[in-house]
Amino acid sequence: MRETSPYKPVKQKRQALLLFLFAFLALALGFFGNLKWGQAHVSLLTLYEAVTFQGEDKAHLYIQTLRLPRTITAAIVGVHLALAGLLTQLATRNPLASPHIFGINAGASLAVVSGLVLVDGLSLFGSVAFAFAGASLGALLVWALAGSQQQKQYVRLALAGIAVHFLLSSLTEGMIILNQHSTDSMMFWLVGSTSEAAWDDVAALLPFTAAGLAALTAMIPSFRLLILDDAVAAGLGGRVALVRSVAVLLVIALSGSAVAICGPIGFLCLIVPHIARYLIGEKLTLLVPLTALLGACLLIYADLISKFIAFPFESPVGIVTAAIGGPFFIYLARKQRRNAA
Amino acid sequence: MRKRIAILLAALLFLVLASISLRVGAVPVPLRELWASLTLQDSPASYIVLQYRLPRVIVAALAGFGLAVAGVILQSVIRNPLASPDVIGITKGAGFTAAIVIFLFPGAPSYVLPAAAFTGAVGALLILVLLSRKMTLPPSSFALVGVAVGAVFQAGIQYLLVKHPSDVNMALLWMSGSLWGRGWDHVRLLLPWIAVLLPVAWLGYAKLNVLQLGDEGSAALGLNVPKQRLLLLLIAIGLTGSSVAAVGSIGFIGLIAPHMARLLVGGRHQWLLPLAALIGADLMLIGDIAGRVLIIPREVPVGITTAVIGAPYFIYLLRRERLKAA
Amino acid sequence: MLRLQLKKLITPVLIGMLALALAACGSSNTNAPASTGDSNSTPSSAPFEPVVIEHELGSVKLDKAPERIVVMEFSFADALATLGVQPVGVADDSDPGLIMDEVKDKLGSYTSVGSRYEPNIELISSLQPDLIIADLNHHKNVYEQLNGVAKTIVLNDHQADYNTMLANYEVIAKAVGKAEEGQKRLEEHNQIIEEAKGKIKNADLSILPAVVNPKGFFAHSDHSYVGSFLTSLGFNDPVKDETPYPQLSLEQLVETNPQAVFLLPTEEVTIVNEWEKNPLWDKIDAVANGKVFTVERRNWALSRGLIGSERIVQDLTANLGE
């Protein structure tokens, strides 16, 4: 079934090693940049003192209580979203698939906004629960539509997803319009933002990260089934369906938790798997960690950029990822003609 | 025969809905008063009927025609049943320019907003055409490029929304699509476009029928595919742009009305176009009536009610498509 | 097969229409507004001289004192309340709780004409008003329609600062034939403000008013109504930004370091509940000095009139004066 992959074959071992090294370096640099630059000036010395937990000045606290958890959250959410994107693309065998395009984000947004309207003083836990309910709803909708995947349906499915996305967002807009006094502030969150992330949020995310990564690692051999030929896969019918459902559950866990904390950050989940595949090829044992790493990298840099778009005021990071991801999506769409007409 | 009946029924439904729409609302108008006002006799309801509800009904109908027909054209040009002005990013382009006016030029006179929206719709199409290698891209890629362009516009809209929290509601109302306060001015704005483009679109039904067959088939029948596609797109954009300028970026009408029509009369455009137009208008009126009576004295914007009405049907439709594919 | 699908299609449509019809009938029975002819406003003492009112979108000639007035913003309602005029209709977002109590008491019973963004024009016309006071930003697109209902004055309220509000107040007073009362009330207002200024110590404090909700902290800079009012009292605006309602992060708030903070919460639980747990919160001067106060948003940020401003002053003297 698969046409010759547009991506390069697996590289030499040493090249792969270099790639990972480079990605790590970039991540570290991004981490440093996010801690160093923000609304308030922080000197290098203060930064060093802060991360070694000496000093109780304002500047130290900025780093310890705001920038550090925020950066860690951005990295984790980046990992979640990138892996969720990769899994979606594997499970649907659709290069255009992503939680964002498939209405999962929009479902979670709708649920959280509804929660805010219906429940007074919604707690962090409450909004996580609502986000999960919504994400599952969106995923359910899409998978109900995605059932049997054939090559030709790439585009149809992507368009269906976008239409579901629009539908859910217009319902969200309706909620906001009709409850303006409690919800007009939701806009910032609705675009996706890490700016309010605190240690609580890191703590809320980590279990999902740990469980998700563990499950993912354990399942890598099985996920290979998802990139098999139709003919071969057909012989293993039941297995494939099972693996696919596990992948879907993982997608919901990863993207649902990310959306609950940071709002629906778009496009990251679409583009990172493509970049990773372009760099390292299809071999899952390499592709999965690189995707995770690049996801963290991209979101951290996007977060850094978002601080400076309207300095000193914050802008939601979702705008940055959309600005990067939109053109990339256009590139993908234009390339699409080789694969499916 | 069945096709005629379908069109007749849709037209009948339209008349019924139009009269309901004139009758109900925050201030119910008894039938006698309604008749008196419509026949220009003196009546206490004259203002509400003639100056408020009648132009609103007409704008709703015209926009419904425009969006639905644009949807039909896009779906056959792109050869994808899920294409619509909404999905391929044209209404987002209009939304973006409208948001610029609402947020950055709040003092602009009231005619600027529709003009900006129309420009935005045309601009979005222009970008699309540029990115699609002068329309030689296969239709499915074209649709995806549209989705992506729409997403970039959406990011711009969101940035403006976030930076101007106090005007969020005004912008959202416009963007979800609202018929509130649409008067004879808007009828004058919209009528020429629809009156000209609707017949033009209908006269193009033969081309639309052919284009549906696919590029090779169309070319074999002597059609200059990229050129025809561009021409038809221009018609669609004229319809969408003017409708959106008048009522805001209402989604779903352009997606759902063509589907309902196709289900009833099949894919031949000489039947499909008029029926879709009527269904589009019917949907707009149902949405508007619901929006005006649900939470009196407030209104639910018509874009929201049409989405709520359209959602279940849309999901059913996708399920059905899937079953067919399996 | 096709038949079956058609049926599936038709049932929801029918159900929808039935629901609509029911809703329509229900509403026609209950919601007829009480447009009994009793005049709500007290006739002005002096005989009314015809006046020409200049407003944002033109001018309007009023031959007699308007008696049935519809206002489409909270500040206009505030203005009418000070003049002892009772409007027949108010756009209150269908929530009378958004109007501050003192104003509400003076307004008496009125008909809600719905959202301030999209007031119900049918309902307005059924109230048979003889004057409509509308906002430039929200209602300029329906000016013609409103004019068809009644003479309409369009004022810039949405973007108004304190001085614009005072100018608008004089226009409103003149339009309802109470220019003199208006002047008198303005003098009274100025006196209240002056007295308050005397009571407030350290009037050069930097004060930050902010609307807080579950997801954000929105400062009101001196380009907003509340901010401009505080500046006119002599306080400093710690934000100094051209946008009226910049959203601040905790880091920015600490850097801004206001000496007093007035929180205008929209809900019970807001982002401040989170921030209070952070040791940085205590580094803000306002927090360290115990000068963080919670006041009512409808009084500060929604009413935007003389009564609202006097209430702000009252809150200020109660909390900062000694």
Asked whether the CA dihedral C106, C111, C112, C117 is positive or negative, the reply is negative
Distance from CA of B4 to the nearest CA of A (A): 31
Distance CA(B29)–CA(B6), nearest Å, equals 30
Probe site for chain C from B298, B313, B315 (most C CB atoms < 10 A): B298
Query: What CATH number has the domain bearing residue B73?
Result: 1.10.3470.10
**Omega prior to B297 cis, within 30 of 0:** yes
Q: CB–CB of A138/B311 below 8 Å?
A: no
Inform me whether the pLDDT recorded for C132 exceeds 90: yes
Tokens of B230: 């561009």
Distance from CA of B166 to the nearest CA of A (A): 8
pLDDT digits (tens, 9 = 90+) for A222-263: 888 777 666 666 666 667 778 878 888 888 889 888 888 888
C33, B28: Cβ pair inside 8 Å? Answer: no
Tokens of B130: 């540029």
Inform me whether the pLDDT recorded for B235 exceeds 90: yes
For residue B313, list chain C residues with Cβ-Cβ distance below 8 A. 9, 12
Alpha carbon distances (Å) from A129 to A117, A163, A167? 15, 25, 22
Q: CB–CB of A51/A69 below 8 Å?
A: no
Distance CA(C145)–CA(B186), nearest Å, equals 12
Decide if the complex's ipTM is over 0.85. no
Nearest Cβ partner for B263 among C9, C28, C122? C9
Alpha carbon distances (Å) from C74 to A178, B166, C213? 18, 15, 21
Inform me whether the pLDDT recorded for C16 exceeds 90: no
User: How many structural domains is chain B composed of?
Assistant: 1
Q: At the fourth CATH level, which superfamily is domain C51-191?
A: Nitrogenase molybdenum iron protein domain (3.40.50.1980)
Nearest Cβ partner for C121 among B52, B106, B167? B52
Inform me whether the pLDDT recorded for B285 exceeds 90: yes
Tell me the count of A-C CB pairs closer than 8 A: 77
pLDDT digits (tens, 9 = 90+) for B73-107: 998 888 877 788 888 889 999 999 999 998 888 87
Side by side, which strands form the sheet with C216-219? C247-248, C216-219, C207-213, C260-265, C292-294
Selected residue with higher pLDDT from B198 and B229: B198
* Prediction pTM value: 0.86
Contacts of C4 (CB under 8 A, 6+ apart): none
Probe site for chain A from C215, C254, C257 (most A CB atoms < 10 A): C215
Distance CA(A329)–CA(A158), nearest Å, equals 12
Q: Give the pLDDT of residue B238.
A: 93
Q: Give the pLDDT of residue C164.
A: 92
| Nearest-Cα residue of chain A relative to residue B133 | A334
Average pLDDT of the residues of chain C: 83
Where exactly are the structural domains of chain C? 51-191, 200-320
Q: Give the pLDDT of residue C322.
A: 61
Which region among A312-326, B2-16, B310-324, C298-312 has the lowest average model confidence (pLDDT)?
B310-324
Q: CB–CB of C141/B170 below 8 Å?
A: no
Amino acid letter at B320? R
Subunits with 3+ Cβ pairs within 8 Å of B are A, C
Inform me whether the pLDDT recorded for B325 exceeds 70: no
Q: Which domains does chain A have, with CATH numbers?
A: 13-338 (1.10.3470.10)
B255, A163: Cβ pair inside 8 Å? Answer: yes
Subunits with 3+ Cβ pairs within 8 Å of A are B, C
Inform me whether the pLDDT recorded for B151 exceeds 70: yes
Burial class of A54 by CB neighbour count within 10 A (0 to 12, 13 to 18, 19+):
exposed
Across chain A, where does the E strand assignment appear? none
Q: Give the pLDDT of residue B15.
A: 95
| Nearest-Cα residue of chain A relative to residue B84 | A163
Q: Which of B224, B313, B189, B218 is nearest to B262 (CA)?
A: B313
Residue C53: Cβ within 10 Å count: 17
**Residue C193, SS3?**
helix
Distance from CA of B295 to the nearest CA of C (A): 9
Percent of chain C, pLDDT > 70? Answer: 84
Inform me whether the pLDDT recorded for A126 exceeds 90: no
Q: CB–CB of C319/C293 below 8 Å?
A: yes
pLDDT digits (tens, 9 = 90+) for C207-262: 999 999 888 899 998 888 999 999 888 888 888 778 888 888 898 999 889 999 99
Inform me whether the pLDDT recorded for C36 exceeds 50: no
Distance CA(B257)–CA(B71), nearest Å, equals 8
For residue B298, list chain C residues with Cβ-Cβ distance below 8 A. 93-94, 114-115, 118, 120
Residue range(s) defining the domain that contains residue B121: 2-325
Q: Give the pLDDT of residue C7.
A: 43
Across chain C, where does the E strand assignment appear? 51-55, 58-62, 69-71, 89-90, 111-112, 131-135, 152-155, 207-213, 216-219, 247-248, 260-265, 292-294
Which region among A60-64, A250-254, A336-340, B36-40 has the lowest average model confidence (pLDDT)?
A336-340
> Hey, what CATH topology would domain C200-320 get?
Rossmann fold (3.40.50)
Q: Give the pLDDT of residue C19.
A: 45
Selected residue with higher pLDDT from B158 and A227: B158
Q: Give the pLDDT of residue B243.
A: 93
Side by side, which strands form the sheet with C152-155? C111-112, C89-90, C69-71, C131-135, C152-155
Which region among A79-83, B45-49, C170-174 has the lowest average model confidence (pLDDT)?
B45-49
Inform me whether the pLDDT recorded for C17 exceeds 50: no
Tokens of A190: 């609705």
Distance CA(A214)–CA(A288), nearest Å, equals 12
User: What value does the mean pLDDT take over residues B144-153?
Assistant: 87
Inform me whether the pLDDT recorded for C81 exceeds 90: yes
Distance CA(A219)–CA(B71), nearest Å, equals 44
pLDDT digits (tens, 9 = 90+) for B27-50: 888 888 888 888 888 888 888 888
Alpha carbon distances (Å) from B307 to B250, B251, B255, B287? 9, 7, 11, 9
Distance CA(B12)–CA(B100), nearest Å, equals 41
Inform me whether the pLDDT recorded for B162 exceeds 90: no
